[in-house]
Amino acid sequence: MSINPDNRKILVVAPHPDDETLGVGGTLLRRKSEGFSVAWLIVTGVTEGFGWSSQRVIEREREVSSVSDFFDFDEVHNLGLPTTKLDTLPFGEIVQSISQVVNSYRPSEIYIPHLGDVHTDHAVVHNAVVSCTKSFRYPFVGKLLSYETLSETDFGLDNSRQFSPNVFVDISEYLDGKLSAMEIYGSEMGEFPFPRSRESITALAQYRGSTAGFRAAEAFQLLRSRE
């Protein structure tokens, strides 16, 4: 089966809600305006059974709902696996759960967290999604890219796994929207110099933009491209 050039469907995979906005928020807004179909796969969740308060669970559900509406996602999938504990689960079961979403949505592009992120959930998700992009099983996937996540990618200290972006997307017109989306996650934002702050998010976008000649950009590492 060949890749359909008219299949403009993006899947962003977030280990935790807010990763999608930090890493791909501006690009998602831009692609939606360009007519792409965009889906959001959230891998982990918070529940009282996992030790979270009922107030936090309700708060997170409201955040996810509001963010989904903000980006106008065409599909939202939530696996609800325990946050911070993915490395304790059978890897094959995680792959199978993600595979079901990939096969159902059939995206042409997938965005995943960077392998070198300091959070173990990010590394597990990265490897699990890579397993769901083999050309002989998922021939509709044309591009696989990793994104950077403030407070995770920048704290990874393994020099062999440093984030090396080679794709830059102009989000000059969408940076304000990205910031507005992040503010929905009130409990995740902080005052500068906290990494997840308006100033830090803006500074990274401007830095990535200056690398590529844009006022603001998001940077990605192209892992595989099939045309």
Reference 82, options 112, 120, 137; nearest CA is 120
Instruction: Reduce the secondary structure of 157-191 to three states and give it as a string.
Output: CCHHHCCCCCEEEECCCCHHHHHHHHHHCHHHCCC
Rounded mean pLDDT, 107-120: 97
Q: Which amino acid is at 201?
A: I
Q: Which amino acid is at 182?
A: M
Q: Determine the Cα–Cα distance for residues 141 and 58; give it in Å rounded to an integer.
A: 35
Q: Crossing angle of helices 19-33/54-71, nearest 10°?
A: 20
- 8 A C-beta contact, residue 51 and residue 12: no
Q: Which amino acid is at 165?
A: P
Q: Is the dihedral of CA 192, 195, 198, 201 positive or negative?
A: positive
How many CB atoms are closer than 10 A to CB 76?
14
- 8 A C-beta contact, residue 179 and residue 202: yes
Percent of the chain clearing pLDDT 70 (strictly above): 97
- 8 A C-beta contact, residue 185 and residue 193: no
- Could you please state the CATH topology (level 3) that the domain comprising 9-225 is classified under: Rossmann fold (3.40.50)
Tokens 């440093």, located at residue? 162
How many CB atoms are closer than 10 A to CB 34?
8
Percent of the chain clearing pLDDT 90 (strictly above): 85
- 8 A C-beta contact, residue 140 and residue 108: yes
Helices (H) and strands (E) in the chain, counts: 6, 7
Reference 44, options 82, 101, 12, 4; nearest CA is 82
How confident is the model over 114-133, as pLDDT tens digits? 999 999 999 999 999 999 99
pLDDT band at residue 4 using 50, 70 and 90 as cut-offs = low
Better-predicted residue by pLDDT, 56 or 176: 176
How confident is the model over 59-106, as pLDDT tens digits? 889 999 999 999 999 999 999 999 999 999 999 999 999 999 999 999
Where are the domains positioned within the chain? 9-225
